[in-house]
Amino acid sequence: MKVRIPQSGGPANMAGMLKQAQKMQEDMAAKQAELEAATYEVSAGGGMVTVRINGKKEILAMDVKPDIVDPDDIETMTDIIVAAVNEAVRKVEDTANEEMAKITGQMNIPGMPGMF
């Protein structure tokens, strides 16, 4: 018994796939530039610490409310600052991953998750 494998369209189909891949790559590069230029703002500690960060994960500004500054409890203040910075970085990464997934159509592209 012979099994017939359906043809996928040959060279013309391959050219179309390459064209789609190139378009996806261009879209991803444009989105990456857009994401890097974006600014995100995240608060922690009930708004006591606010961090502004860009898409390159560079801290642009930090606002610390005076009420959180207690010379006898520096540890709480630093914990809240660390939480705010970590949340800001997570927001950048999550946004980048979501936007890239829209472009790739949820394809599993090696190296993508670690890209951001």
Q: Give 49-63 pLDDT, tens digit per residue.
A: 999 999 999 999 999
Per-residue pLDDT tens for 1-50?
666 655 555 666 778 888 888 888 888 999 999 999 999 999 999 999 99
**Distance from C-alpha of 75 to C-alpha of 70, rounded to nearest angstrom:** 9
Kindly give the residue spans of alpha helices, DSSP state H, lying in 6-110: 10-37, 74-104
**Distance from C-alpha of 68 to C-alpha of 76, rounded to nearest angstrom:** 8
For the whole prediction, is pTM greater than 0.95?
no
Amino acid at 10: G
**Distance from C-alpha of 79 to C-alpha of 61, rounded to nearest angstrom:** 17
Domains of the chain: 40-115 (3.30.1310.10)
Nearest-Å Rg of the Cα atoms of the chain is 22
Q: What is the pLDDT of residue 105?
A: 79
